[in-house]
Amino acid sequence: MTGIAAGVRAIPAAAALAALVLLGAAPAASAAESWGRTLVRTHIVPRDEIAQFNAFRMKAREPNQSTLENILAQDSVAWSMPPLDVVQKDNPYRIVIRVEAEVTGPDATSLFLAGWTRLDQYGEPDGPTVMGTVAGLGGPGEAAGGGAPRLVKTAAAGPVSFKADGRVVPSIELSRKQGLRFERVEVEIWSGLPETTWRELFFGWQSALIGLTMLGLWFLWFRKRD
């Protein structure tokens, strides 16, 4: 009976220890976000282009058209970057958008599209532009010193892999904006997969380690009971 009681007392203690391991292994937020292995380029959207972003207004919804038809009928504001040489071994590539904006109304939100247009040997578009959405660049923002709330956020499109080396034109396109006045828009192009840190590796394996530890304790408890 003494062995059983000791085993029962050991289980909560082990659970507490496992919880401490879980908390201690939680990775801290990195000072610089990494969206890939290599930062290939950084572009600052010119002020005149930002002015076009701010002048953008969405069309009113047509009640007699479907949601898809209304989306296709919307205007947008696009900005293209200089051509970029892509290498297959450096896949995948990713477009990241960082914005600083003043929040001017409720439900502040925006939706960008990130595109890649492949060029042929003559520098002409070769096929359709591959587009991906860049969502999440919205929110209430934060007010400082009694001023208007400001929004500082970063979001990325999904990774894109190219089947062959070549030249492409990256671009972004604003298709939705509400309650925001952009002050600065920065575009980054990343390549490769982000490197995994030892903290992330440990955090990924910790659940399995805790599960094995608890399984071993239960096994010992049953052996003591027998």
Same domain, yes or no, for 213 and 110?
no
CA angle 158, 136, 76 (to 5 degrees): 80
Q: What token pair was written down for 135?
A: 């969502």
Same domain, yes or no, for 116 and 149?
yes
Same domain, yes or no, for 53 and 21?
no
Same domain, yes or no, for 7 and 69?
no
Same domain, yes or no, for 64 and 167?
yes
Same domain, yes or no, for 172 and 211?
no
Domain assignment of residue 218, yes or no: yes
Domain assignment of residue 169, yes or no: yes
Structural domain including 138 reads 38-194
Within 26-102, where are the H helices? 47-55, 67-73
Rounded-to-integer distance, Cα 179 and Cα 56, Å:
11
Domain assignment of residue 57, yes or no: yes
pLDDT for res 225 = 61
Residues of the chain with pLDDT under 50: 1-11, 13-31, 198-204
Give the CATH number, domain containing residue 86: 2.60.120
pLDDT for res 174 = 96
Same domain, yes or no, for 49 and 117?
yes
pLDDT digits (tens, 9 = 90+) for 73-128: 678 999 999 999 999 999 999 999 999 999 999 889 999 999 999 999 999 999 99
Rounded-to-integer distance, Cα 204 and Cα 167, Å:
37
Q: How many domains does the chain have?
A: 2
Same domain, yes or no, for 131 and 205?
no
Same domain, yes or no, for 217 and 180?
no
Domain assignment of residue 91, yes or no: yes
Domain assignment of residue 31, yes or no: no
Same domain, yes or no, for 11 and 122?
no
pLDDT for res 63 = 83
Domain assignment of residue 203, yes or no: yes
> At a CB cut-off of 8 Å and minimum separation 6, what does 223 contact?
none
